[in-house]
Amino acid sequence: MSGNIYSKPVTFAVMATVAVLVGTVATMAYPLLRPDMHVKVAGLKPLPALELAGRDVYQREGCVNCHTQTVRPLKSEVVRYLGNRAQEPTARYSLAGEFAYDHPFLWGSKRTGPDLAFEGWIKPSAAWQKEHLENPQKLVARSNMPAYAFLNGEKVDGEAVQASMRALRRVGVPYTDDDVAGAPQAVQGKTTMDALVAYVLSLGKAVNRGGAGGGEIDLALANPLAHSVEAVVRGKQLFEANGCGACHGDEAKGQEGVAPSLIDDEFGGVKGDLPDAAYFVMIKGGSDAKKALGRPGVPDGGMQAFGSDLKDEDIWAIVSWLRNQKGHEAAEGKHEAAEHPKDGK
Amino acid sequence: MSDYRYDNQTVQGFILSAIFWGVVGILLGLLISVQLWAPALNFPPYLTYGRLRPVHTNGLAFGLGVGAIFGLSYWIVMRLCKRPLLFPKLARVQLWLFNVGIAAAAVSLAMGYTQSLEYAELEWPLDIAIVVLWVMFAVNVFGTIIKRNEEQMYVSLWYIIATVVAVAVLYLVNNLSVPAGWMKSYHLFAGVNSANVEWWYGHNAVGFVFTTPILAMFYYFLPKATGLPIFSHRLSIVAFWSLVFAYLWTGAHHLVYTPLPDWLQTLGIVFTLFLIAPSWGSVVNGYYTVGQDWSKMRSNYLTKFFVLGITFYGLQTVQGPTQALRVVSQLIHYTDWVPGHVHMGTMGWVTMTVCASIYYVIPKIYGTEIYSEKIANVHFWLVLVGQLLFSITMWITGIRQGWMWKATDAEGKLVYRNFVDTIAGNYPYWHTRTLAGIIFAVGMVFFVFNVLMTIRKGRALERSESSAAPAAVTAA
């Protein structure tokens, strides 16, 4: 019949090995030699010490079991993970070159929670990330994520980070001697929570996916949509559609320790309101615009820039809604004070 | 027969160990299924979903799966070679090392020691232990086959040989890493290469742990249990060689639409489609084997396990290639559809076939019959219902959530902007999955009970025989 290999175990084993090696060489070994498997985005840097320690925590806690780290080049996915903000079309989804120092890759295979590939752009607020890790259900009521508050009580081990850097250097990640020597200093006193937050905020940042800056700051600019009822309604829709409430609360009243209220009489951490144009440039340019406004706000800032995402008129509509809310709140406050004069409001 | 007694005890040791780790793995599966809808039941740091899911998958793949493969392969090898194992003591050492290794693996994963490579989570000291175990297995399998007393090697031996060599290659390459400490290492490969090597491994771990050794059992125990010869030897040959050749090309179908180069994805998809043919070669062979006498479904209680097992293998190997297609992948990838798919293979094909093989072997060790066919039938129906309920609910919710992720309005804006809105709809399906898991687990309790009672019955028989034996000698 079909030869006699079925009575020669050694010959048979050799043939079976050859059979499995053909596909192995073609799809696993050969790609290792190809340039398209060794691309690197310009200016890619190894993770700094704290972020690296955070990546180890991300691995240890098995985050990869529920979170993917690849935005696929699908229209709805690009929109969901805000890749549509990026000006370069190729920066709108995950790129091979971003992962050149990822040992191992952490793309995951199941998206029980959202994808985190662009998390550094989507939720750049360290305060929000920390609060969410401590108690996810506090910020996202229906979430099924476990709470990781225990990380606050755990210090990063500087020597372990050094060992990690040395091992990664052996597999080709270009850590310098200074990086290794400086690692304990860099993570001094930091908790594994700090490290994990730093790592999550670094995701997707190897490629510029940011929007346009705030542009010229002209506080004299008037809201062209002021007093338009239509703009107020549209502004509220835009506020919700762009997920502003995730940090600033559904009614823009802010969330303690996460993001400030947008309808009280403080702006950028200083008492005293600013004109509509200040709101406009903050939404357009994000935390970077704070310096230009001369208001400190939260030290490391967490406001993302919506400049390339939203048209100017959309931003003005959001401002209109915010201003309307503010007026509304103030009026309600007065109303309450009139009804309950004893509260001293 | 006494030549085989020592080895039979080793086989039984592997079977009982596999059952033990199976129970642990299933219970953990129930716990993590509950954690998905009741996050308060995560108990950090050790008992969170993130740390326990790998304990569940490794416990069942390596504890139940590989344990059963070791034991049942030895049984098959001895019968097909007409001789005991060449190194019986080595197999016994392997049994002990196996249990110590799996226990250490489970503890290390709960402690957070992981390579973060799916189905290759174990850190390097445990990888070394697994390599040692595999070498012991290979030495005994090859040694016994070379010193066999039967000229021709039957199909099951081909599949066992292919398993031994393929797993060795896969495991060694994917676990290449550089240690940064005793329980911490970094994958040798980076980014797209890390992904490509991992899924070349990951998919073939499915191929050479959940397919080829299980086919070896199917080809051996189905004819043994039913007394019906395999329908076509020629088809076995064609199916075997095309399967072991094509499997290794397909890993990239796990990476559709990722940054992996398109040509590599397409190559993986094409070979995945081809894989339907050899898979169905075995399915057709199985059906036509039983087709020689369908009344066996009624008269032999094991037949239905094998027939349903190969049916789920057939469904699995059509569903898998379908999922690999880009148009399907974009909808169901990353959703619960995928666990639904995996569990049809593991709870349907693998568990049905392994349990039936164990039902066949355990009574044979003692020269007796199964404790209760009735209990085996209850076991069968419960695991069947549990598995179907599990998989079908996961498919439904996978499509549902995948569609919600994609839904856009006329302006191209997302209808479900808030990710948690798409999770919230999963909860009722996740409750049903836990229920399905409970039904399946209860079915497995019946199985374990039946096996243990059969052993008890067999031991009692042995005792009465040995007390009868001296009497016979004096009489002679």
Q: Give the residue from A11, A27, A34 with the most B CB atoms within 10 Å of its CB, the best one to mutate.
A: A27
Grade residue A342 by pLDDT with cuts at 50, 70 and 90.
very low
What is the total count of domains within chain A?
A: 3
Looking at chain A, which residue has its C-alpha nearest residue B244? A20
- Whether A72 and A171 map to the same domain: the answer is yes
Shared domain for A261 and A323, answered yes or no, is yes
Determine, yes or no, domain membership for A108.
yes
Residues B443-449: what's their mean pLDDT? Answer: 98
Specify whether A56 is located in the same domain as A197. Answer: yes
Residue A224 lies in a domain: no
**Model pLDDT, residue B464:** 92
The residues, ordered by sequence, that sit 6+ positions from B118 with a Cβ below 8 Å of its Cβ are: A109, B57, B198, B202
What pLDDT sits at residue A341? 47
In a domain, A213, yes or no: no
Asked whether residue A43 is domain-assigned, the answer is: no
Q: Are residues A324 and A190 in the same domain?
A: no
Interchain contact, A61 vs B188, CB within 8 Å: no
Mean of pLDDT values over B84-92:
97
A192 with A285, same domain? no
For B160, the closest chain A residue by CA position comes to: A13
**CB-CB under 8 Å, A59 with B51:** no
Query: Across the interface, do A171 and B162 touch by the CB < 8 Å criterion?
Result: no
For residue A65, tell me if it sits in a domain. Answer: yes
Contact A95 B259 (CB under 8 A): yes
Q: Enter the ipTM.
A: 0.95
Same domain? A68 vs A170: yes
Burial class (CB in 10 A: 0-12, 13-18, 19+), B227: exposed
| pLDDT at site A331 | 73
Query: Which residues from chain A sit within 8 angstroms of residue B405, using beta carbons?
Result: 76-77, 80
Q: Residue A150's pLDDT band (boundaries 50, 70, 90)?
A: very high
Residues in A closer than 8 angstroms to B179, CB to CB, are 167
Q: For residue A319, what is the domain's CATH number? A: 1.10.760.10
Residues A58 and A190 in one domain: yes
Does residue A154 sit in the same domain as residue A57?
Answer: yes
CB contact (8 A) between residue B190 and residue A28: no
Q: Say what the pLDDT of residue A242 is.
A: 81
Mean pLDDT of A206-232: 77
Q: Is B54 helix (H, G, I), strand (E, B) or coil?
A: helix
> Which residues of chain B neighbour A21 with C-beta distances below 8 Å?
169, 248
Compute the radius of gyration of chain B from its Cα atoms. 23
One domain for residues A140 and A244: no
pLDDT at B260: 98
Radius of gyration of chain A (CA): 26
CB A192 within 8 A of CB A230: no
Q: How far is CA A294 from the centre of its chain?
A: 26
Kindly state whether residues A183 and A109 are assigned to the same domain. yes
Same domain assignment for residues A116 and A143: yes
Q: Does residue A123 lie within any of the structural domains?
A: yes
- Nearest residue of B to residue A238, measured between CA atoms: B413
The DSSP secondary structure of B86-118, one letter per residue, reads S-HHHHHHHHHHHHHHHHHHHHHHHTT-----T
Mutation target vs B (from A2, A7, A18, A28; most B CBs, 10 A cutoff): A28
**A69 is in which domain, residue-wise?**
49-202
In a domain, A253, yes or no: yes
A244 lies in the same domain as A315: yes
Average pLDDT over residues B127-152: 97
* pLDDT for position A217: 66
Check CB contact under 8 Å for B418 and A23. no
Q: What is d(CA A150, CA B162) in angstroms, rounded to the nearest whole number?
A: 47
pLDDT-derived band at A294 (thresholds 50, 70, 90) equals: confident
Domains and CATH numbers, chain B: 1-188 (1.20.210.10), 219-461 (1.20.210.10)
Q: What is the pTM of this model?
A: 0.90
Q: Is the pLDDT of residue B332 over 70?
A: yes
Q: How many CB atoms lie within 10 A of CB B83?
A: 18
Tell me: pLDDT of A345 over 90.
no
pLDDT of residue B385: 98
Distances (CA, A) of B53 to A286, B49, B325: 39, 6, 27
B158–A76 CB contact, under 8 Å: no
